[in-house]
Amino acid sequence: MCNEHFDVAIIGAGPAGLFLAKEILENSNQKVVLIDSGPSIKKRHCPLIQKGNCTKCPTCHVVEGVGGAGMYSDGKLSSYPAGSGLVELLGSEEKVIEINNYVLESFLSGMSAQNIKETKADKIQSSGMQKNAATQNLNWKGYDVYHIGTEGIIEYCIQLEEQLLTMGLHLLTNHKMVNIEKFHNIFTLTLENKRKGTFHISSDKVIMATGKDSGTFLRNVMNKLGVNYGFNEIELGIRVETKREGIIVLSETHLDAKIKQKISEDVEARTFCMCNGGFLVNCYYDTYLPNEKIATISGFSYRDKKSPNANFGVLIRRKFPDHIDPIAMQLGIIQAVNQASGHGGTIVQRYEDFVARIPTIEEKLKQNSIKSTLPDAAPTNLHWVLPQYVTEAVEEFLNHLSLLSEDLINGDTLLHAPVWELCWDRVQAEEGLRTNVPGFYVAGDAIGWARGIIQAATTGIVIARDILNDKKPCNKELTSTV
């Protein structure tokens, strides 16, 4: 017996889920429920961020809750050609750009100009840095980016959550979806909540917008329903923490420098999420293994509050044979890194020790000139736990990057692990992001084609428009203009 029936059920209240709900509620009277395993945005509190002590909360507020993992991000809004994978998914550059701009306008329209830092794509070209990078066998991607900081993301999401509630959204926070079934054209969802216990709801449409917290749970859902998907080219790597002056040359050219290097025929390295004056934080996920959490590292940066450090990710992508499941293969590596910390967390090594292939000891870490913003990272030897192709690619890539900025890397630079991205599957989708199962969609990072706040929200808009068109009496396409 189902407690309540909805027209649309959205699992995950990150950018994709929020914008999807907003688009439907603004353009129809459909009954929409938004479900998230974490709390309302005003109740998201991370002890590590606020007090410097990770308490391994039962629900990791860095990852779960209204606003999604993007709430504790570096607060950068990147437009096309960032997230260029969406072109193949949506069919044209024009469509991606149109919806990117629609989402950007929604974010930026209510913000003071003084709270927005902006870099245009042509600044990289005029600076000569792209040509300089090319001489070092590096490819520097240019795109428009707007930095509103962690505060800006939080402020926007608070306003959006309140707006959606006044529009009639049914919001179920601290509710975990544990099962899904389809009977004829109706989906039945089994939800768990500490106060309510286990109960069921039903819906005509279901959208999984579970983001970085998708894990293998989403795969299990898709297997059960018969949704078509393939393995992704997932990325394993490290997070570099250095002095702020080390990235001035890069950050003054572009707020979020995306630089790639082809290491070999099947290995590629790239920078990711550059945070000038930023902080590091642990992210705990419980959707990969039963009764066990894995920990990874992320970076974020406030608009106003700055640390003396800068940090950025270095991700190594390797193309594996089609029959190899990269998640299953690399999950054990993440576990090994967590175990090497001694407390199920993350690890760190000084660059000088990394190159010498010797472990960093606690005493050397205490004397290090660069003090980490992640105090509980355990010193060790990354070579003991990361695959050789990763450590070799990291070393070669950092050597090339240091030729662009001579202060970027020194012996005291800190290398943190693990960083794990695109560690979810790539969903096969058609027009409107429909899967082969009628009424079932996957949105945001979880669809496996692109990452980022703007990109996730863009997929949410596409799905919302498809659902709205499906409800209209004629086939006239629903569009929105900025």
pLDDT tens digits along 223-262: 999 999 999 988 999 999 999 999 999 988 888 899 999 9
Question: Confidence band (pLDDT; 50, 70, 90) for 476?
Answer: very low
**68: its two tokens:** 């999604």
Residue 407: inside a domain = yes
Does one domain contain both 93 and 182?
yes
Does one domain contain both 372 and 440?
no
Does one domain contain both 416 and 268?
yes
pLDDT for position 1 = 61
Kindly report whether the peptide bond that precedes residue 81 is cis, defined as omega within 30 degrees of 0. Answer: yes
Does one domain contain both 407 and 376?
yes
Q: What is the mean pLDDT of residues 148-157?
A: 90
pLDDT for position 252 = 87
pLDDT for position 315 = 98
Q: d(Cα 353, Cα 359) in Å, to the nearest integer? A: 6
Residue 480 has pLDDT above 90, yes or no: no
Does one domain contain both 201 and 249?
no
Does one domain contain both 359 and 392?
yes
pLDDT for position 472 = 57
Does one domain contain both 76 and 212?
yes
User: Residue 201's domain is classified under what CATH number?
Assistant: 3.50.50.60
pLDDT for position 181 = 97
Residue 476: inside a domain = no
Residue 187 has pLDDT above 80, yes or no: yes
Q: What is the mean pLDDT of residues 406-410?
A: 93
Residue 349: inside a domain = yes
Q: d(Cα 141, Cα 36) in Å, to the nearest integer? A: 34
pLDDT tens digits along 103-148: 999 999 878 877 888 888 887 777 788 888 999 999 999 899 998 9
- Total domain count for the chain? 2
Three-class DSSP category at 241: strand
Does one domain contain both 153 and 49?
yes
Q: What is the mean pLDDT of residues 351-380?
A: 97
pLDDT tens digits along 62-104: 999 999 987 777 788 999 988 888 999 999 999 999 999 999 9
Q: d(Cα 208, Cα 10) in Å, to the nearest integer? A: 6
The rounded mean pLDDT for the chain is 92
Residue 131: inside a domain = no
Q: d(Cα 153, Cα 62) in Å, to the nearest integer? A: 13
Question: b/e string for 183-220 if b means 16 or more Cβ within 10 A?
Answer: eeeebbbebeeeeeeeeebbbbbbbbbbbbbbbbbbbe
Does one domain contain both 245 and 390?
yes
Give residues with Cβ within 8 angstroms of 426, minimum separation 6: 229, 230, 231, 232, 447, 448, 449
Between 227 and 152, name the one with better pLDDT. Answer: 227
Question: Confidence band (pLDDT; 50, 70, 90) for 374?
Answer: very high
- How large a percentage of the chain has pLDDT more than 90? 77
pLDDT for position 474 = 36
Q: What is the mean pLDDT of residues 287-311?
A: 93
pLDDT for position 478 = 37
Q: What is the domain range of residue 89?
A: 5-111+148-230+426-471
Does one domain contain both 24 and 161?
yes
pLDDT for position 128 = 83
Residue 482 has pLDDT above 80, yes or no: no
Pair type for strands 32-35 and 170-172:
parallel
Between 132 and 267, name the one with better pLDDT. Answer: 267
What ranges make up the beta strands (E) of 290-437?
292-300, 309-318, 347-350, 378-379, 414-421, 426-427
Does one domain contain both 347 and 452?
no
Residue 25: inside a domain = yes
Three-class DSSP category at 356: helix
Residue 207 has pLDDT above 90, yes or no: yes
Q: What is the mean pLDDT of residues 445-463?
A: 95
Q: What is the mean pLDDT of residues 19-45?
A: 97
Residue 118: inside a domain = no
Residue 409: inside a domain = yes
Residue 422 has pLDDT above 80, yes or no: yes
pLDDT for position 21 = 98
Residue 475 has pLDDT above 70, yes or no: no
pLDDT for position 433 = 97
Residue 74: inside a domain = yes
Three-class DSSP category at 263: strand
pLDDT for position 477 = 39
Does one domain contain both 254 and 300?
yes
Q: d(Cα 256, Cα 144) in Å, to the nearest integer? A: 10
- Comparing 67-71, 143-147, 339-343, 441-445, the range with the smallest average pLDDT is 67-71
Q: d(Cα 414, Cα 314) in Å, to the nearest integer? A: 12
